[in-house]
Chains A and B, each alone.
Chain A
Amino acid sequence: MTTEQQDPIKAVPVRRPGRWIGGVVIALIAIGVIYSIVTNRNFEWPTVWRYLFDFRILTGLRNTLVLTVLSMVIGVVGGIILAIMRLSRSPLVSGAAAVYIWFFRGTPLITQLIFWNFFSLLYPRIGWGTFSVDTNTLIAPFVAALLGLGLNEAAYMAEIVRGGISSVDEGQREAASALGMRQGKTLRRIVLPQAMRVILPPTGNETIAMLKTTSLVVVIGYFELMTAAQQIYADNLKQIPLLIAAAIWYLLLTSILSIFQSRIEKRYSRGVSGIATQPGFAERMFSFRKAAR
């Protein structure tokens, strides 16, 4: 064997006419859509811009964000607790978590939201004797929305966390206990950090989904982004522009969340080999090969 450096292979790449044809078709459709969006006056773009920063829309936006964050906090914390319960050796503890998950995943979210809103019909007062409060003052639409979204999310997060914990090799737990580490610490220091890699991507998806799902609380009248848009167009009948304004905000926020998600995922993939390098646009489209480094 010689140690001489070999020249890199220079070969004509395979032509891909299918990609070219597909590309042309897509370009034509895109031009048509953009042309229509720009020229169709019914979109009323000036109205969209005017309402995009309307005080009511911005208030709704803020409430949407608050609701998303708090619901996810309840969902994640509840999910971790439920997952640990689910993996417990005690059949009662594990069974209780299973029943919770069964119930909250088995009924529609919108049913649960309305249920919490009407909770006072079931229990007019909450508490014991003198230490009780009127249910309607305790469960305002905001609390009902939070309960509905958070408790439902916990059931889904529980399955995600459980999958993550189960994905960690049993040898990791053994190594930790052989070092004299106790169960709680093993979970916190060894198992959960590794489970994160499996847990985080779907949690990011859940957060993005939650941002949009908060719009469901329109049915119980809590004032978030979608409720705001609806109330405004109920007055001025400019449905399409207001729906577009709301959609723009949802798109912007979900895009920001997606960027966060990929950053966090990178951080937790430490110690896991092979971040595969994706071929770039030019290479995939035209089979242009980048010079090997």
Chain B
Amino acid sequence: MSEQPTQEPMVRAEGVCKHYGRLEVLKGIDLEVAPREVMCVIGPSGSGKSTFLRCINHLEKVNAGKLWVDGELVGYRQHGDKLHELREHEVAEKRREIGMVFQRFNLFPHMTALGNVIEAPVQVKGIPKAEAKQQGEDLLTRVGLADKADAYPNQLSGGQQQRVAIARALAMKPKLMLFDEPTSALDPELVGEVLAVMRGLAEDGMTMVLVTHEMGFAREVGDSLVFMDGGVVVEKGKPRDVISNPQHERTQSFLAKVL
């Protein structure tokens, strides 16, 4: 990826903190994701990596610090030096531009694959059904599931469900895609097909932030690798550098366990 330092980052986090009651999950995260960048976030469970991802599209409220997506503050509007919470419909509007893929797919079980894909374009964006169907079929073709348009989620394998979920997120034409351990709930032999779709997305220039345990994918496709532990970013750098030459002791011990 070419570095363009003058470009506005797609995601910018400054001192992002999140706590549930007394439990501090994020203790000041500073990160930047450039447009077209693929950032992989790794770390032990409970390190706050999924929580950080969920803060980016405001599924979780940030307690302190600030988070911008494409130059716009997440969850708040600034008037002078005062912050105003966004209304529900304003939050919803911003989420349309951020796709999210979940560990457990979360497909709508009462709709077919195509139904899942066209639901948001039709219901949220108000795109005519015929047009949405056309686009939906194209998206299913893109993830290799053109023949499964009429299948219900329970008739699909985990890998196929996750690919439908990716198509569903893409249907909103997002400028940023968030992946929350997209292959962790899959049988090992199904991981490859999902990673292949994600690799294709990265090659098309999609900005992606993904929480993952797939070190091979992180090394080959990722532009940057972030290691989180205990609610802080311990180490960040080029995937190859971090994986082959971790600087921090905690990174070293984590990588020793997963590689």
* A271 and B111 in contact, given A171-B102, A181-B120, A189-B119 (Cβ under 8 angstroms): yes
Residue of B89, B152, B172 touching A179 (CB-CB under 8 A) = B172
Interface of A is mostly: helix
- Are A270 and B110 in contact, CB atoms less than 8 angstroms apart? yes
- Are B123 and A181 in contact, CB atoms less than 8 angstroms apart? yes
Chain A residues within CB distance 8 Å of chain B = 169, 171-172, 174-183, 185, 189-190, 193-194, 270-273
CB distance from B104 to the nearest CB of A (A): 6
- Are B123 and A175 in contact, CB atoms less than 8 angstroms apart? no
11 further interface pairs, Cβ-Cβ under 8 Å (given A175-B108, A271-B154):
A171-B106, A172-B106, A177-B59, A177-B92, A177-B95, A178-B102, A185-B123, A194-B110, A271-B109, A271-B152, A272-B109
Residue B136 lies at the interface, judged by CB distance under 8 Å to chain A: no
Residue of A174, A183, A194 touching B109 (CB-CB under 8 A) = A194
Residue B83 lies at the interface, judged by CB distance under 8 Å to chain A: no
- Are A178 and B110 in contact, CB atoms less than 8 angstroms apart? no
- Are A179 and B102 in contact, CB atoms less than 8 angstroms apart? no
CB distance from A267 to the nearest CB of B (A): 11
Which one of B88, B120, B153, B172 has the greatest number of beta carbons of chain A within 10 Å? Answer: B120
- Are B57 and A179 in contact, CB atoms less than 8 angstroms apart? no
Closest to B165 in A: A175
CB distance from A131 to the nearest CB of B (A): 38
Chain B residues closer than 8 Å to A182, beta-carbon distance: 88-89, 92
- Are B124 and A174 in contact, CB atoms less than 8 angstroms apart? no
- Are B123 and A189 in contact, CB atoms less than 8 angstroms apart? yes
Residue of A181, A190, A271 touching B153 (CB-CB under 8 A) = A271
Closest to B168 in A: A179
Residue B93 lies at the interface, judged by CB distance under 8 Å to chain A: yes
- Are A174 and B59 in contact, CB atoms less than 8 angstroms apart? yes
Chain B residues closer than 8 Å to A174, beta-carbon distance: 59, 102, 106
Chain B residues closer than 8 Å to A273, beta-carbon distance: 154-155
Chain B residues closer than 8 Å to A177, beta-carbon distance: 59, 92, 95
Residue B169 lies at the interface, judged by CB distance under 8 Å to chain A: yes
5 of the cross-chain contacts (CB-CB < 8 Å) are: A178-B59, A178-B102, A180-B93, A271-B152, A273-B154
* A181 and B124 in contact, given A190-B108, A194-B110, A271-B109 (Cβ under 8 angstroms): yes
CB distance from B164 to the nearest CB of A (A): 12
- Are B96 and A179 in contact, CB atoms less than 8 angstroms apart? yes
CB distance from A137 to the nearest CB of B (A): 45
CB distance from B29 to the nearest CB of A (A): 20
A182 CA / B168 CA spacing, docked (Å): 17
Chain A residues closer than 8 Å to B98, beta-carbon distance: 178
Chain B residues closer than 8 Å to A176, beta-carbon distance: 108
Closest to A171 in B: B106
A190 CA / B111 CA spacing, docked (Å): 9
- Are B102 and A175 in contact, CB atoms less than 8 angstroms apart? yes
A181 CA / B93 CA spacing, docked (Å): 8
A273 CA / B154 CA spacing, docked (Å): 6
Chain A residues closer than 8 Å to B120, beta-carbon distance: 179-181
Beta-carbon contacts under 8 Å, B100-114 to A: 100, 102, 104, 106-111
- Are B88 and A183 in contact, CB atoms less than 8 angstroms apart? yes
CB distance from B194 to the nearest CB of A (A): 17
A169 CA / B108 CA spacing, docked (Å): 10
| Interface mask (B34-46 → A, CB under 8 Å = 1, otherwise 0) | 0000000000000
- Are A270 and B152 in contact, CB atoms less than 8 angstroms apart? yes
Chain B residues closer than 8 Å to A270, beta-carbon distance: 110, 152
* A180 and B95 in contact, given A174-B102, A272-B154, A273-B154 (Cβ under 8 angstroms): yes
Which one of B95, B109, B124 has the greatest number of beta carbons of chain A within 10 Å? Answer: B109
- Are A179 and B169 in contact, CB atoms less than 8 angstroms apart? yes
A31 CA / B28 CA spacing, docked (Å): 81
- Are B124 and A180 in contact, CB atoms less than 8 angstroms apart? yes
Which one of A179, A193, A194, A271 has the greatest number of beta carbons of chain B within 10 Å? Answer: A179
- Are A178 and B57 in contact, CB atoms less than 8 angstroms apart? yes
